[in-house]
Each structure stands twice: as C-alpha cells, then as structure tokens.
Amino acid sequence: AESCGFVSSIPGVERPDLQLFFCAAVGNTQNAAGFTGHGFLVHATDLRPGSVGQLRLRSADPEVKPSIIFNVFRDNSTMAALREGVRIIRRIVGQAPLARHLGREADPGPEVESDGAIDAFIRQTVGTLFHPVGTCSMGHGPEAVVDPATLRVYGTEGLRVIDASVMPAIVSGNTVAATYCIAERGADLVKSEARNAAAPAA
C-alpha cells in the first residue's frame, strides 16, 4: 500500500473505525499474483469487526491443516462500516487530485449504488487482511486460553503462546506494534524464569 488513512464511517465517533489503503495497481491485495494491470485501487478495512470465527484441530498430526471458519458478518458483525467505506472511497476518488486519473470504476462499478448491491459486492470480495487475532485469547473467564500474567496455556505444561493469538480483541489498526509488545513481554518472562532456574539455591 502506497498510502493509508483512518476515517470514521459515522461522524463524531471517538475513534475511526475504518482504515483505507491505496495501491498503485489494479488487483487482489490478498494474492500477489492477482495484480492485473495499470490503475489504482482503494479498499476499506473494518477495524472493529464483530464476527467471531473458529480455529479447530482436525487431527493430532501436525501435518494436517486445521479447520478455520471465519464466520464473516455473523454474531455482532455488520455490513454498515464497510458499505460506508465504499461510499467514502468514491467521494475521495471523485475529488480533483485523483479524479483526473480515473478512467472508469472497475469494481464494484458505477451501477452498484444501492445498499443491497454494495453489500453483495462486499460479500463476494471480503477478506481478512492478514490480521486475525484471539484464537488463544488471554484472560480469566471461561473462554480464556492463556494466563495473561505468564502467557502459559491453561491446563498444559511447558507451553506458552506469545503472538497475536492472545489478544482478546483486535486493536483498531495493524497488529504488528501490539504483537511486538506481546513478544517483548513474553521474552522477558522466559528470560526471567531462566535466570531464576539457574540461580544457586540460598
């Protein structure tokens, strides 16, 4: 992405709920081989999706791929933010600095105007944008998998999870900075325990 910006789908909200990405090519940002030609694309990311998916092991064999079900637009997730994102993008692209470079709108196409038509386009093209979290959520409730104080998996000896999986909810933006923080904390825990284990008994 050559540039990005944070915007709000609803005026006056405390924090933006959409991140827009601009790319100087036409294609599928989920697939590097999917870039198909000259042009540009802008896409919207819902920063606080409400859908809750499932990640389940199919087998004890680590070579067997797990079952991943995203459950997009189920539970508390809605189309509203992404639908407004499409309209915000059109307003931005329609302004003079970009409009002069716009030959035609390839997707979803200028004929796609109604809520239902935009929703159908979103359902057909939606992706995760590489930032799923929470499959080993840390906390203390019945759904928690990881102890937030130690990053150890409850009920399992010798196993920690030190990545974005432990986030109980996704941050409102790219996950990399928060993941670095988790990694630094996890490294400190591991080093501290190693030092304590190596220290001579008093």
Q: Which residues are catalytic?
A: 131
The answer for 173, left when phi > 0, alpha when psi is -120 to 50, beta otherwise, is left
> Of 67, 54, 19, 46, which Cα lies nearest the Cα of 134?
54
Query: Per DSSP, which regions of the chain are E strands?
Result: 3-7, 18-23, 41-46, 54-56, 67-69
CB atoms within 10 A of CB 89: 20
The separation between CA 31 and the C-alpha centre of its own chain, rounded to angstroms, equals: 16
For 144, the token pair is 């928690």
Phi/psi for 191 (5° steps) reads -65, -40
CB atoms within 10 A of CB 94: 11
Which contacts (CB < 8 Å, 24+ apart) does range 157-160 have? 160/186, 160/189, 160/190
Question: Is-contact 138 147, C-beta < 8 A?
Answer: yes
